[in-house]
Amino acid sequence: MIKVENLHKHFGGFHAVDGASLEIAEGSITGLIGPNGAGKTTLFNVIAGVLPPTSGRVTMGGEDITGLPPHELFHKGLLRTFQIAHEFSSMSCRENLMMVPGGQTGETLWNTWFGRKRIADEERALRAKADEVLEFLTIAHLADHRAGQISGGQKKLLELGRTMMVDARIVFLDEVGAGVNRTLLNTIGDAIIRLNKERGYTFVVIEHDMDFIGRLCDPVICMAEGKVLAEGTLDEIKANEQVIEAYLGTGLKNKEALG
Ligand SMILES: Nc1ncnc2c1ncn2[C@@H]1O[C@H](COP(=O)(O)OP(=O)(O)OP(=O)(O)O)[C@@H](O)[C@H]1O
Ligand SMILES: [Mg+2]
C-alpha cells in the first residue's frame, strides 16, 4: 500500500532519516520501533507530508505521493494523528469530531443562501456520526465534556476518533501509549484492532511499549540511525543481533525497552 524507497531527511549535516526503505502492506497493523533518535517520527512526518524529504520516494498504491501536503494526503485517506490543538480544547469532544473536514456543504456562499435545509440535515448527520464514533471508542459519556479537560488517554482516543470521521485508509500513530495508563492503553489497542478488522484500516504504529506492539503488530520494523535494520515478527526482531546491538548501543534504558 505504501512503499518508501531510499528516503533521506537531513537537518543541516545531520541525517535523521538516512536511506530508509520499507513497505507497508494493506490491511496490516505494522509496528515501527527503534531506540530514541532512530528517526521514526521524522520518517512519519515525511510520509505524512509534514516535512519535505531531502531525497527518496514515497508511493501509495503505486502513485507517487512524495512531498504532497497533508491536506492532499488526507483526501487520499492517509492520516497522521495530531494532538488536539490548543484552540480546540475549549470545545466539547463531540464538537472536536464534528470539526474534522469532510466536504460539508455549509462552506460555500451559494449553499448558505440556498441550502439551509441541507446544511441542517448534514449537521444532524455529522452529529450522529460523532456520537457513533464516541460510542465505538467507549467515551460516549464524554460527548459534552471539554476536550481540554479529559485525561491524556481519553485525548488519545479522541485523536483516533478524528480518523473515523472520514474514510481513512491508512493511519499513522506516533506513541499513542505515551503517558497513558494500562486500562486506557488496552482500550486504545482494542479500538485499533477493531478499526483494522471491521473497517479495513491499515495502521503504522510507533510505540516503545513492547507489550502493546506484540499484541497489535505484525510485522514489526526496527529502525536505528535513520535506517531500517530489520523486519519480522516481534519475536524475530527481538532475537535479531543488529537490533539488540542498536538498543544496547544507546544505553540501558533502551535495552530494557526491548525487554
Ligand atoms: N527539526 C529538526 N532539526 C534538527 N534535528 C532534528 C529535527 N527533528 C529531529 N531531529 C533529530 O533527528 C533525530 C531523529 O529524531 P526522531 O524524532 O525522528 O527520532 P525518533 O525515532 O522518533 O525518537 P523517539 O523514540 O525519541 O521519539 C534525532 O537525533 C533528532 O534530534
Ligand atoms: Mg519519535
Q: What angle (nearest 5°) sits at the alpha carbon of residue 163, between those of residues 154 and 28?
A: 100
Kindly tell me if the per-residue pLDDT of 107 is higher than 60.
no
Strands 14-24 and 55-60: unpaired
Atom number in ligand 1 closest to CA 208: 25
> What pLDDT is stored for residue 241 in this prediction?
93
Q: For atom 27 of ligand 1, which residue has the closest CA?
A: 36
Ligand 2 centroid – CA 206 distance (Å): 8
Kindly tell me if the per-residue pLDDT of 20 is higher than 70.
yes
Q: Measured between alpha carbons, how far is residue 172 from residues 33, 116, 119, 123 in Å?
A: 13, 36, 32, 28
Ligand 1 centroid – CA 41 distance (Å): 7
Kindly tell me if the per-residue pLDDT of 77 is higher than 70.
yes
Average pLDDT for residues 82-104, to the nearest whole number?
A: 80
> What pLDDT is stored for residue 255 in this prediction?
58
Q: Calculate what percentage of the chain has a pLDDT beyond 70.
A: 89
Which is higher by pLDDT, 120 or 130? 130
Average pLDDT for residues 43-62, to the nearest whole number?
A: 97
d(CA 180, CA 81): 16
Q: Calculate what percentage of the chain has a pLDDT beyond 90.
A: 75
Q: Which three cell numbers stand for residue 33?
A: 520501533
Which ligand gives the minimal distance to the CA of 20?
1
Q: Measuring CA to CA, which residue among 30, 160, 146, 177 is closest to residue 82?
A: 160
Q: For atom 17 of ligand 1, which residue has the closest CA?
A: 41
Q: Who contacts 48 (Cβ-Cβ below 8 Å, separation ≥6)?
A: 70, 73, 78, 79, 80, 172
Question: Among 11, 46, 173, 225, which is best to mutate for testing ligand 1, by the most ligand atoms less than 8 A from CB?
Answer: 11
Least confident of 19-28, 74-83, 84-93, 180-189: 84-93
Q: Measured between alpha carbons, how far is residue 233 from residues 30, 54, 110, 211, 244 in Å?
A: 10, 30, 54, 13, 15
Kindly tell me if the per-residue pLDDT of 50 is higher than 60.
yes
Question: In CATH terms, is domain 2-91+166-258 a member of 3.30.420.40?
Answer: no
> What pLDDT is stored for residue 179 in this prediction?
82
